[in-house]
Amino acid sequence: MPEPVMPGYGAIDDGGDVDVAPDPGAMTPTRRLGGALGLGFWLSVGWLVAIATAAVFADALPFVGDPDSPIRDVARKSGPSLEYPFGVDSNKFDVFARSIYGARVSLMVGFATILVGFVVGGGLGLLAGYFRGRLETGLVAGADAMLAFPQLVAALAIVAFLGASVVNLILALSLLAVPALFRVTRAATLAMAERDFVTAARMVGATHRRILWREILPNVVPPMLSFGLLAVAIVIVGEGALAFLGLSVSAPTPSWGALIERGRDSLGDAAHISLGPAFMMFLTLVALNHVGDRLSRRFDIREAAM
């Protein structure tokens, strides 16, 4: 019987390499980043950077007034003007200045909470998705239980019990972030841990710690990050809700939620007192959502191309 020969085999010259690959560098992701993500993405990033910078350096910025002393030469609740873009409130405080300072608490709470979620939820998700077994079963059950509980109520109870400070606020809102990030990370880790490159890494003698850190983590960070940005928005809203109920950081430290609440009594005659900070919060949330959305879509595309 003749030796079986695969059709087409004989024709290939061993000396030549018929592999064709694109010129290295032609496809580096950074080069098409700008165009692919679109103008809206960069506008959103611009807004986030601007609001964060303004919040951090509010004391030094010339156009941000003093938020804590009443302005003498204007009427109470007077509407927006060139000098005071968001008007003044019933105590003659500059609403714009207070909104900028309010970004401090709101953004800080938002990002710090997600950071806690990343470290705790993400870390546990990574372990659960990689090691599986009883650890995973237990953690998943715990996360499900936490998600099943009405979280705003839980956060409310914690803040009411421990007292309203920034740290307690972050702690309470972490109840929201930790289980959510745990689930996202675990799902991404599960998908990655099944891939051959993890086996391949074990095959060259890598330890579990090294595999988790060097092989899996870089692959799960993109989905975590895009989800994290969306989650920041949710947490900011959560903080706003607590503040509106008077359970956020106590006055005089303003946060967006507290500022909106301040204008509640005057909604009929001076809506600008609430609308100013609400507008800033709105833009920030839209920007966060858009950036997170864009990023996740972008990572999905890359995933599909692999």
Partner 1 sequence: MTGSAQPTLAGVDDHFPIGDPSAPVVEADDLVTWLRTPRGPARAVDGISLRIAAGQTLGVVGESGSGKTMLSRSVMGLLPRRIVERLDGTVRYRGVEVPRHDETALRRLWGREMAMVFQNPLTSLNPVVPIGRQISESLAHHYDMGRDERREHALELLRSVGLPEAEHRLGSFPHELSGGMRQRVVIAIALACGPGLLIADEPTTALDVTVQRQILDLLDQQRRERSMAMMLITHDLAVVAGRADEVAVVYAGQVVERAPAAELFASPRHPYTRALLDSIPSPVQPSHARLDAIAGRPPDLVAPPDGCRFAPRCAYVTDACRVAVPELVEAQGSVAGVGGRPTREVRCIHPVASSEGLS
CA-nearest of 124, 292, 284 to 222 is 292
* Residue 4 binding partner 1, by CB under 8 A: yes
* Residue 22 binding partner 1, by CB under 8 A: yes
- When binding is defined by CB under 8 A, the residue of 60, 75, 148, 204 that contacts partner 1 is 204
Smallest distance from partner 1 to CB 22, Å: 6
Select 81 or 207, whichever has its Cβ closest to partner 1: 207
Smallest distance from partner 1 to CB 300, Å: 13
* Residue 20 binding partner 1, by CB under 8 A: yes
Q: How many helices (H) and strands (E) in the chain?
A: 11, 0
Select 214 or 264, whichever has its Cβ closest to partner 1: 214
Q: In the range 216-245, which residues lie near partner 1 by CB under 8 A? A: 218-219
Smallest distance from partner 1 to CB 192, Å: 9
Question: Cα(31)–Cα(71) distance, rounded to whole angstroms?
Answer: 50
Please tell me whether residue 88 adopts helix, strand or coil conformation: strand
* Residue 70 binding partner 1, by CB under 8 A: no
Contact partners, residue 202, CB within 8 Å, separation at least 6: 211
Question: Which two three-digit tokens encode residue 47?
Answer: 């807004």
Contact partners, residue 107, CB within 8 Å, separation at least 6: 51, 52, 55, 236, 284
Q: In the range 178-197, which residues lie near partner 1 by CB under 8 A? A: 195-197
| Residue 172: CA count within 13 A, CB half-sphere | 29
Given the rule CB under 8 A, which residues bind partner 1? 1-9, 12, 14-15, 17-22, 24-25, 27, 132-133, 195-197, 199-207, 214-215, 218-219, 302, 305-306
